[in-house]
Structure formats: structure tokens, C-alpha cells
Structure 1
Amino acid sequence: MVQVSLERQQLIGVKFGQVERKSIEKLIRTVGRIDYDEKRLVTISPKIGGWIEELYVNFTGKYVRQGEPLLTIYSPELVSAQEEYLIALRTAKALGDHDFLVESAKRRLKLWDISDEQIKELEQRGQVAKTLTLHSPFTGFVLERMAFKGMNVMPGMALFKLADLSTVWLYADIYEYELPLIRLGQEALIELSYYPGDFFRGQVIYIYPYLDQTTRTAKIRFQFPNPRGQLKPGMYANVQIKIPLGTKLVVPEEAIIDTGERQIAILDRGSGYFEPRPVKLGPKVDNYYVVLEGLKEGERLVTSANFLIDSESKLKEALGGMGGMHEHGSMGKESKQ
């Protein structure tokens, strides 16, 4: 314990704060990059070989809806399959008990993604269609187009790559010491420089199980609804994650002296007496530290000039130690005499 007169307190500018309980929340800020939702990417490939006769989606970036025609394809195999189906229909109609032939021929058409509607049109028409129209099974934007008019295609060949942007992902890096606060399902807010003042709400959907050894950060994946298409892959955004920590015992940041080995607070004991006390601290939230051990609610602390008081306390301890050594040395001389 060290004593500092009121005059000296005023001279060195001593100020005070208090240990208190308050409801706090941790705000984590970072920068993220918007990307495609991998679950909403699709590659469109034909199940039959042939030649592209008409191309309806002929540029990258075009928006297509589910069921919209993409292209027409001429396939000798498809022509043969249609002929087999029509022959099976005529045979079943003429002989009566040959439905299994119809079902077998129909099943073959369906395996090539011929819709029930197209099969019904074939039945009504009674004639083979030279080409098959390939429809989009998905709604989205064309990211890649590998199809060209007149091109020969093989089964399984990628013709289009589509992305649905109604939901997007965002990747951000979180520092190692902040990771214990991150949980799946936590809400996050992002703001774009392109839309100042507008915030978009999303949530944490995945925490990567490893750290970047250079930056000591972990990658976090967020998911954001994007009904109006304002969030575009490649954009950067400012990310905020607010984490309620409940009601905690806290002290002002200025009240703590960090020596590198321990944290110390200077308590006001009244009548000019001050006590340096080691404390154990939790996370720093805004301008406060959470107190885990060493302090009680209502205790008064020095928040300004605490370094000077701590120095005086250490000087007093050092002088006391030197006094003890001097006294011990004098006693040794007397005993020799």
C-alpha cells in the first residue's frame, strides 16, 4: 500500500472510476468478399449426342428461368427412339396386349429427359420430331456458355453453367482470439460502399476447421438472402457481428496496468492510501475489460496517473527491501565485534 497526499494527487492528475456490473456485447468487425452459393450452381449437359440446330441462350450473363428453352438438338438416336415408341403404340392398339412394349419405349425416352408433355405431343402428332428442345432445369444467370449453333455434342458434355443469386455466400477472416465467440447461426450485418446506410442481414453457416498460419485468422462463411440481386459475387463488404455477453463485472480500460506478465489495478483505499492489486481479466469490450478475479462491484479504482502511483509503490517496496538489507548488514558487523 502506498500513500499519496491530496496535493500530490491533484498535481499528477489522479482520476477515479468504479467496478460495476453492466450488460455488454462484443462487436467484431471485419471485411468480407461475396461469392456464389455453391449449392446453387448447376451445369447443364445433354444425355444424348447430336448437333445443335437452334441456340436460344446465346450469350453469357443472360437470365434464364426454369423451363425456358435453351437449344434444340438433332439426334439420330432420339429419332430412332421416337419411331420405336410410335410403333409400340400402334402394335398395342392393333393387338391389344402389348402395353409392356409401350412402357419400355416410353421409359427410354424419359431416361433422355424427354418430358411427359413432349411424349404426349408425340402421341398426338403421330410423327417423329427431328429435334429435341432442351429446357433449363434451373433458374439463374448464365456464368459460362460452351454451346454454339451447329456444334456436335456428346452425352455428358457441359453446355451451360448457371448460378442462382437469390442467395449468396460471403467469406470473412476472423482473428484467432475472436474465434471462441463465433457460433453457427449467429446473425451478421454487412454494409456495402455502393449502398451506404443500407444493411443486409445474414448468418454464420460454416466455420473452417483450420487457421491461416501467416495471418492467424480463420475463414468464416456467411449466407445472405439476395432477393433484389444487390449483392454480387466479387463485391467487398464491411461485416459486423454483435455478440451479447450478458451482464458482467467490468472496469474501465484505463484502470488496468498491463506489465506483460500480469494485469494490475490501483484501488483507492481512502485517506490518500492506494493498493496495487493483481487481477484476472476476460475479453475487452469497447472501453471496458471483463473482470474474472481480483475485484468486487463498487470498488473505486484509479483511471489516470495509475502508472505513477504504481511506480511509487514499487519504489517504496524497493526502499523497504534496501532498508532491511542495511539493517541486516549492521547486525552482522556488531556480531563480529
Structure 2
Amino acid sequence: MDNMTHQPPRIASTTVLGLFGGVVVTLLAIAGWWTPSDRRMATAGGMEGSGGMANMSGMQGMDMSGGNMAGMKVDMGAKDLGQASVTLSPTRRQAIGVRTGVVERRPFETTIRAVGAVAYDERRVRQVNLRVAGWVTNLAVNYTGQFVRAGEPLLTIYSPELAATQAEYRLARRTQARVGQSPLEPIRSGADAQVQAAAERLRRFNVSDEQIEALENSESRPETTLVAPISGVVTKKMALQGAYATPEMPLYEIADLSTVWVNAQVYERELPLVALGQEAEVTLATYPNEILRGRVAFIDPVLAPETRTTRVRMELPNPDLRLKPGMYGDVIIRVRAAPVLAVPREAVLDSGTRTLAFLDRGEGRFEPREIKTGRTFDGYTEVIEGLQTGDKVVTSGTFLIDSESKLMAATNMMGALGMGGVRMEQAQMGEMEMGAADHPSTQTVDGLTLTIETLPAPPKKGENAVRVTVRANNAPVTDAAVTVAYTMAMPGMEVETVKASHTKDGVYEAEVDLSMRGAWTIDATVTRPNAKPVTAHVTVQVEE
């Protein structure tokens, strides 16, 4: 065993070197750097045909045009995608949990849920102002929240300007009466014009025609009454008893609550599904057992940058004024559209630049297919291009299949670049010349002899023990720190590391979880005081 000093297992030299060389060549070819002169240099250097890479240890007779890795076969379908079709054995399909679904036309029905709040109908809000300046002498409506009916008095003001205009009107009427029988038309016309001008000024001061007519038979009244323009609830009251008010000052704000709005905040990703006229259901926290029904009446054209939501408005009748602005509740918008071609959402792989699904071609063969998707609804994604009714697609295990597809496409590219002497069918995981440890494996590295074995041997799927015996100059080593790292040689598989405990006479043991069938690589690393770490490698085949 001494001749094994400093020699890692053959998997480290053959597989890693072969894959590394393939990746480098692939990148050079893609970038346009693998020129005919480079190819001639490779030929001269013995890297083509039966020499070079093909003569490397453990790689004779290997062919990259097809392969079988741990129950996987691959062909170069979908070359334009940079991925290859993958064939899985029944055991592998069961191990990674492959499930499939059918592409079919489904009714487009989904539900949008959002938080909503009751608000005033802005079209039914009125602000009350004076037309003439004066002092408030009486407040008929003197608190916020008071209900008023249209035409009811709000307040009374005393206005010297109004009194003067009323006096002008009375004087114009008397003048008109005195000159009414004058034979001179200009005089009669002038008197009529003065009456009309005075009456018009009174109308601008919000004096009704009835009140103007009454001035003919009564004295001037320096006070005027302001009335409610609509029926509703006083939401703001700025008028104060005895205050001087001017036309630009708002005195009241009145809202008609017979109809209210419910504003829901809908996320931008759901906006394409919302349309005017859609049915909506509102459930308020105040009335949890009551469903209020309405329709979408407005979609805000502006998105709120803080919440990435848009306001969607429903209108609800409120004849008994039970719905009060500020109430919160839940809004459900029912979306119904024509049937669309759809796949389960889990079948879609979106990389950001393209979208893929894996077709089930039967007998364990899965082909990558680029697709164009549309809307997502109730666990399904709309398919616009790339699939048709009746296709079977992978819905579980897609990530692992996608990873293997990319890896296999890269290895097949190596064969296309002149490395056709490599035959991947001999590269089955667990069947390569990797020193499979169904019995103890002993290696000597930097003066240390390491014996690695599993309990039981061969190991079974699940919990196993790894025993590492460390000796130096045929004497047990008891002062070392030993760690055991184990993984499966497949994309996406992480390396697990555990610390081994010293039991006796240079024997260290660690518990490992070999969770699935296939080939597992185990590395034992020994670190002694004031010495560099030493690592030995072994590959074991896990059975059921």
C-alpha cells in the first residue's frame, strides 16, 4: 500500500480532469477562441483521436455523444436551449420524487384578496361658503356629525354690504313706480335697468327671488340665512358664533353618505386581472357575518411607490348610513375569463431570461421545452406558446432534472468539439474505478496509514457509521482530530461534514446519513498537532 502515498482516488484524476478539460474547451469554443490552428496544435500535442485526452488514465474508449450517470441517460435534444433531454431509471425517478401533470384548457377563474376601507363618495361632498362678508349672529348647525336636510338653515349673518344693496333695490323699485307713466322711453328704461341691476347684486349675495320680491313690502333686513345645499352629514364645521366671515372662508363641509366608496389596495402583480365591472364582495370587521356586494367602478392610474399597490374602488349603497367612512374590511374580487391552456405552476422554471418546462416523453425520458407564459391563477400558469393540450410535464423534481440537463448538455458539447473518444456510458456514478469500499479501504498518505470502512458494509440507505483507523509507523494515532465529509456526485448535492470521535487504539467513528441509493464519496481528513492535514478518499455504493 506504500505506493499509494500522495495518490488520490482515480475519480479525482479522471472525472475532475475530464470534466474540467471539457468545460474549458466548451468555453473556448463558445467565445470563438478555439480556432483551426488551436485544433492543429491539439492534434500535434496528442489531444485528438486515440491520443491525448483519450489516453488519459481511466478515459480510454469513452464517448461523450451519450451517457449514463447514476441511472441517467442523456441525448442532445433541444440544443438551442443549451440543455439536453434526460432519461431517468424508475429507481431514480422514485428517489427524487418525479411527478407529472397534464397540459389542458382550464376555465380562468381566480380570486383577488385585498384590504379595503370605507370612504366618502367625493362626488357627494359639498363645501358651504358665504357670498357676502358679515358677522355670524346665529348658528343653527353647531357641531360636526350633525345630519341636515337640503334647504335647512345653517347660520345667520349680519352684513352691512347686504343691507346697503337691499336699500338700493327698494329705492330702485320706488323710482321705477314714479316714472312708470313717463312719456319718455329713456327715463322708463333707465329705471327698469336700475331695478334689474340691484336685483342681480342681491342674487349674487345668495338672496332668492322670493326674498327679493318680499323686500317690496317690508323693510330692509340686514341679516341673511345660509341654508344646506344637500342632505347629509356635517363632516367639517369652521363657523363660530360672532365670528366675521368672508366669502373665501369655508364654513361647513357636508357629505351625502347614501352611497359610499370602498377603496381596496391591489398589488401590482394582480392588476392585469382587474377590470371595470367585475363582481366584488366586501366583509367589514364591524359586520363580520354580512357580505356586501358591489362592482369595480374605478382603477387608479397611479401606483403607490411605498406599498406597490393601486387603489381599486367599489361603490356600495348605504341608505341607512350603517357604513361609516374609515371602517376596514376584506375585499374579494372574482375574476372569470374564457378557458386558457394551463399547466400546474410547479411545472414552470423561470430563470429570468427564459421559461422552461420538461416534457414527459415516456419510458423515463424528459425533454426541456422553452415556453411563453401568461397569467397565473389558482395554482396554474397560462401557457401562450410551446405546449399543447394533452402534453405531460414534470411538476415535481424539476429542479434536479433541470440541473442534470444543463450538466449533460455541457458534457455532450465536449464530444462535439473533438473529444469523441470519451465514452460517458462508462462514467456511471458508483461504477467508475473509484475504489468502492464494500470492504475496508487502506491508504497511506504522508506517513499516515488510514483505513476507512462503513458499518454495515456495504452501507444501507439511511444512518451508517464510518470508521477511520489511523496508524503511523504501525502504531495507533490517538491525538488526531478526524472529520468525515460525504456527498453524492450530482448537481445540487451539498457536502455534509461531521466530526469523528476517538473510541480506542487510533479508531475514530462518525455517524453519517446516506439518504438515497447510489454512489457516495467519503473523505476522511486527519489533523495532528503541528502537522498539515491529511485526507483519504473512498467511494461506496449505497443499497436499499
State the TM-score, normalized to the length of structure 1: 0.82
Q: Is 2:200 aligned against 1:107?
A: yes
User: Aligned residue for 2:35?
Assistant: none
Q: Is 2:88 aligned against 1:4?
A: yes
Rounded to whole Å, the distance in 2 between the matches of 1:117 and 1:256 is 76
Map 1:34-73 to 2 at 5 A. 34-73=118-157
Q: Is 2:292 aligned against 1:199?
A: yes
User: Aligned residue for 2:365?
Assistant: 273
Whose radius of gyration is greater, 1 or 2? Answer: 2
The alpha carbon displacement at 1:171 in A equals: 4.0
The alignment partner of 1:150 has SS state of: coil
Rounded to whole Å, the distance in 1 between the matches of 2:312 and 2:224 is 41
- Residue 315 of structure 2, aligned match among 212, 224, 233: 224
More divergent stretch after superposition (132-141 vs 268-277):
268-277
Does the 8 Å CA contact 1:32/1:171 hold for their aligned counterparts?
yes
Map 1:323-334 to 2 at 5 A. 327-328=420-421
Q: Is 2:215 aligned against 1:122?
A: yes
- Residue 143 of structure 1, aligned match among 232, 235, 239: 235
The alpha carbon displacement at 1:221 in A equals: 4.7
Rounded to whole Å, the distance in 2 between the matches of 1:54 and 1:87 is 29
Residues 101-122 of structure 1: per-residue CA shift (max 9 Å, x gap)? 3222221211111012222333
Residues 192-244 of structure 1: per-residue CA shift (max 9 Å, x gap)? 122224124142424234551x44x2432524134233332222232333333
More divergent stretch after superposition (32-41 vs 321-330):
321-330
Q: Is 2:247 aligned against 1:155?
A: yes
The alignment partner of 1:208 has SS state of: coil
Q: Is 2:356 aligned against 1:264?
A: yes
- Residue 79 of structure 1, aligned match among 153, 156, 163: 163
Rounded to whole Å, the distance in 2 between the matches of 1:211 and 1:154 is 38
More divergent stretch after superposition (34-43 vs 114-123):
34-43
Given the superposition, is the C-alpha separation of residues 316 and 116 from structure 1 closer, same or farther in structure 2, using an over 3 Å criterion? same
Rounded to whole Å, the distance in 1 between the matches of 2:310 and 2:329 is 15
Does the 8 Å CA contact 1:187/1:204 hold for their aligned counterparts?
no
Rounded to whole Å, the distance in 1 between the matches of 2:408 and 2:224 is 95
The alpha carbon displacement at 1:57 in A equals: 0.3
Rounded to whole Å, the distance in 2 between the matches of 1:166 and 1:89 is 45
Given the superposition, is the C-alpha separation of residues 300 and 118 from structure 1 closer, same or farther in structure 2, using an over 3 Å criterion? same
The alignment partner of 1:89 has SS state of: helix
Q: Is 2:383 aligned against 1:299?
A: no
The alignment partner of 1:87 has SS state of: helix
Does the 8 Å CA contact 2:345/2:380 hold for their aligned counterparts?
yes
State the TM-score, normalized to the length of structure 2: 0.54
The alpha carbon displacement at 1:292 in A equals: 1.7
Given the superposition, is the C-alpha separation of residues 300 and 51 from structure 1 closer, same or farther in structure 2, using an over 3 Å criterion? same
More divergent stretch after superposition (267-276 vs 180-189):
180-189
The alpha carbon displacement at 1:277 in A equals: 2.4
Residues 114-152 of structure 1: per-residue CA shift (max 9 Å, x gap)? 0122223333x4322342111112222212212222223
Q: Is 2:223 aligned against 1:131?
A: yes
Rounded to whole Å, the distance in 1 between the matches of 2:303 and 2:309 is 6
Rounded to whole Å, the distance in 1 between the matches of 2:242 and 2:203 is 25
- Residue 242 of structure 1, aligned match among 334, 338, 357: 334
More divergent stretch after superposition (273-282 vs 287-296):
273-282
Given the superposition, is the C-alpha separation of residues 281 and 81 from structure 1 closer, same or farther in structure 2, using an over 3 Å criterion? same
Q: Is 2:187 aligned against 1:89?
A: no
Given the superposition, is the C-alpha separation of residues 144 and 315 from structure 1 closer, same or farther in structure 2, using an over 3 Å criterion? closer
The alignment partner of 2:165 has SS state of: helix
The alpha carbon displacement at 1:38 in A equals: 3.3
Rounded to whole Å, the distance in 1 between the matches of 2:304 and 2:154 is 43
Does the 8 Å CA contact 1:61/1:141 hold for their aligned counterparts?
yes
Rounded to whole Å, the distance in 2 between the matches of 1:270 and 1:117 is 92
The alignment partner of 2:233 has SS state of: strand
Greater RCO, 1 or 2 (C-alpha within 8 Å, sep 6+): 1
Q: Is 2:112 aligned against 1:28?
A: yes
More divergent stretch after superposition (291-300 vs 266-275):
266-275
The alpha carbon displacement at 1:315 in A equals: 5.7
Residues 247-302 of structure 1: per-residue CA shift (max 9 Å, x gap)? 21101123234455543323222233332323222121111010122211011223
- Alignment length (residue pairs): 327
The alpha carbon displacement at 1:184 in A equals: 5.1
RMSD: 3.0
Rounded to whole Å, the distance in 1 between the matches of 2:377 and 2:218 is 76
Rounded to whole Å, the distance in 2 between the matches of 1:190 and 1:38 is 20
Rounded to whole Å, the distance in 2 between the matches of 1:169 and 1:82 is 44
Rounded to whole Å, the distance in 1 between the matches of 2:173 and 2:179 is 10
Does the 8 Å CA contact 1:44/1:159 hold for their aligned counterparts?
yes
Does the 8 Å CA contact 1:191/1:200 hold for their aligned counterparts?
no
The alpha carbon displacement at 1:161 in A equals: 1.9
